Amino acid sequence: MQLRLPKQKQRDKNDEQRTVKQLVKGYGEQLGEGLRVLKQSFFSRLLIGILVVNFAIAGVFAILPGFSSTYGNVDFYGMLLAASGLGTIIGAACVSLFKLQRVPIAILYATLLSVTGLCFIAMAIGGHPAVVLLLFVFAFIPAGSINVIAFVMIQSAVEEHLLGRVMAAVMGIAAGIAPLGSLIGGAIGSWFSYGVVIVTSGLLLLSVALYWILSKKMRRLPATQELSTDLFQAG
């Protein structure tokens, strides 16, 4: 709220004359350019992981009401949502608290996703409601850290004139896979059990962590604080 941006002194007269169709077409072209840029860089490997991660987490949230009902009442569902929010906030704070920007990207991402995957699997095994809530908090601490690191990574490595297009492409891809994850997660939860969905999601996250740590190009990436546009251009 305290940010103050300088007013734009000049406006492009062509912008005032553009129709809605032209604006939509222009946005589509810019989004396509952002996707092409991502495809040609190391971000393409990160995006594969982001797709799987969002798919898995969306599946878990789809069956969360049913899963919480096994612990008695709807209050537990609200507690789980609060636990995920608390974990995300703690994770965001951990980035600066533990200097996570100094850790090589592949090691950092693989470790964080492994924590979430193992917490999901442990949740599915069951136990005391307090233990399940605690596991859910720990499961989303990595999500809070990854959110911060991912934005810093993009802002550090992408050239300024492409930043908006690349960010739009990343957000579009991440958001686009979530409905599919919810649909499939809900269907599997109805056909089998809620535990199957949670365990499967945990295994998917562990597989992404393994993929990132085994990828030679990912292992060559430096820590987030060492990223630059030169690395981005090198792919």
* Tens of pLDDT, residues 48-86: 787 888 899 999 999 999 999 888 778 899 999 999 999
Task: Specify the pLDDT at position 62.
Answer: 95
Task: Specify the pLDDT at position 110.
Answer: 93
Q: Provide the 10 A C-beta neighbour count for residue 149.
A: 23
Task: Specify the pLDDT at position 111.
Answer: 95
- Is 46's pLDDT higher than 90? no
The tokens 């969360």 sit on which residue?
64
Whole-angstrom CA distances from 23 to 16, 18, 30, 32, 162 are 11, 7, 11, 14, 18
- Percentage of the chain modeled with pLDDT above 90: 42
- Confidence category of residue 162, pLDDT binned at 50, 70, 90: confident
Whole-angstrom CA distances from 153 to 108, 118, 223 are 13, 25, 9
Whole-angstrom CA distances from 50 to 44, 147, 150, 211 are 10, 11, 10, 12
Task: Specify the pLDDT at position 17.
Answer: 58
Q: Provide the 10 A C-beta neighbour count for residue 91.
A: 25
- Confidence category of residue 145, pLDDT binned at 50, 70, 90: very high
Which DSSP string corresponds to 42-105? THHHHHHHHHHHHHHHHHHHHHHHHHHHTTSSHHHHHHHHHHHHHHHHHHHHHHHHTTGGGSBH
Task: Specify the pLDDT at position 156.
Answer: 82
Task: Specify the pLDDT at position 12.
Answer: 52
Rounded to whole angstroms, how far apart are CA atoms 68 and 159?
45
pLDDT digits (tens, 9 = 90+) for 216-234: 888 888 888 888 777 655 5
Rounded to whole angstroms, how far apart are CA atoms 23 and 15?
9
Task: Specify the pLDDT at position 169.
Answer: 82
Whole-angstrom CA distances from 206 to 24, 52, 114, 118 are 39, 10, 5, 8
The tokens 């930043």 sit on which residue?
163
Higher pLDDT, 152 or 80: 80
Task: Specify the pLDDT at position 233.
Answer: 57
Which stretch of 55-64, 110-119, 154-163, 185-194 has the lowest confidence by average pLDDT? 154-163
How much is the average pLDDT of 25-42? 72
- Confidence category of residue 205, pLDDT binned at 50, 70, 90: very high
Rounded to whole angstroms, how far apart are CA atoms 90 and 143?
10
- Identify which of 56, 87, 55 has the alpha carbon closest to the alpha carbon of residue 79: 87
Task: Specify the pLDDT at position 40.
Answer: 65
Rounded to whole angstroms, how far apart are CA atoms 68 and 7?
50
- Is 184's pLDDT higher than 60? yes
Higher pLDDT, 168 or 96: 96
- Confidence category of residue 167, pLDDT binned at 50, 70, 90: confident
Rounded to whole angstroms, how far apart are CA atoms 53 and 91?
16
For residue 12, give the 3-state DSSP assignment: coil
